[in-house]
C-alpha cells in the first residue's frame, strides 16, 4: 500500500491521504477547489472556477500516484446545489474528453469549507 502525497495538489485538510495506491488501483480522496500553494483558501468565485480547480487537483493526485485521467474507472461528484449539474457536467466532459468513466453525482447539504463541488476517483495505475 502506498500513500500518495504531491505538492501539485492541496494537502489533506484532515487525517487522511490525498490518495492510496494498492493492488494496481488508486483511490483518491475528494478534491475541492483549494490551490496547491498551501494557502488552504478555497477559490470562491463560482462553480465554474471551482470545478476547473477540482479537476486540476484530481489530475495532479492521479499523476503522482502513477495514473492519469484516462485510467479513471469511477468518479463521484458531490454538489452543494444540483442546479450546477449541467455546468459541472460540461467542465467534467472537457477534462475527460472521450474517456467516460462510470460516475455518480450526489447533492449534499454542505461540503468542506463550503465548497460548491467535490470529486473523488478510482483509477488503474499505469502498467
- Phi first, then psi: give them for residue 88, nearest 5 degrees: -65, -40
Cα gap 101→73, rounded to integer Å: 5
Segments of the chain scoring below 50 in pLDDT: none
What pTM was computed for the model? Answer: 0.95
Q: How many domains does the chain have?
A: 1
pLDDT on residue 40: 78
Residue 9's CATH number = 3.30.1330.40
pLDDT on residue 38: 80
C-alpha gyration radius of the chain = 13
Cα gap 3→18, rounded to integer Å: 8
Q: What is the DSSP string of 3-52?
A: EE--TTSPPPSSSS-SEEEETTEEEEPPB-SB-TTS--PBP-S-HHHHHH
pLDDT on residue 63: 98
pLDDT on residue 41: 82
DSSP label of 69: G
Task: Tell me the residue range of the domain where 99 lies.
Answer: 2-124
pLDDT on residue 42: 84
pLDDT on residue 76: 98
pLDDT on residue 43: 85
C-alpha cell at 11: 494537502
- Phi first, then psi: give them for residue 117, nearest 5 degrees: -150, 145
Burial of 125 (0-12, 13-18, 19+ CB in 10 A): middle
Q: How far apart are the first and last CA of the chain?
A: 16
Amino acid at each position: 500500500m502506498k500513500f500518495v502525497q504531491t505538492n501539485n495538489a492541496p494537502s489533506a485538510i484532515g487525517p487522511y491521504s490525498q490518495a492510496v495506491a494498492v493492488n494496481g488501483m488508486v483511490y483518491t480522496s475528494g478534491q475541492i477547489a483549494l490551490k496547491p500553494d498551501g494557502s488552504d483558501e478555497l477559490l470562491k468565485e463560482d462553480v465554474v472556477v471551482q470545478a476547473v480547480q477540482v479537476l486540476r487537483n484530481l489530475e495532479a493526485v492521479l499523476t503522482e500516484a502513477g495514473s492519469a485521467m484516462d485510467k479513471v474507472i469511477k468518479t463521484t461528484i458531490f454538489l452543494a446545489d444540483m442546479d450546477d449539474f449541467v455546468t459541472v457536467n460540461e467542465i467534467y466532459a472537457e477534462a475527460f474528453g472521450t474517456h467516460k468513466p462510470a460516475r455518480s453525482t450526489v447533492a449534499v447539504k454542505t461540503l468542506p469549507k463550503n465548497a460548491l463541488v467535490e470529486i473523488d476517483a478510482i483509477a488503474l495505475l499505469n502498467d
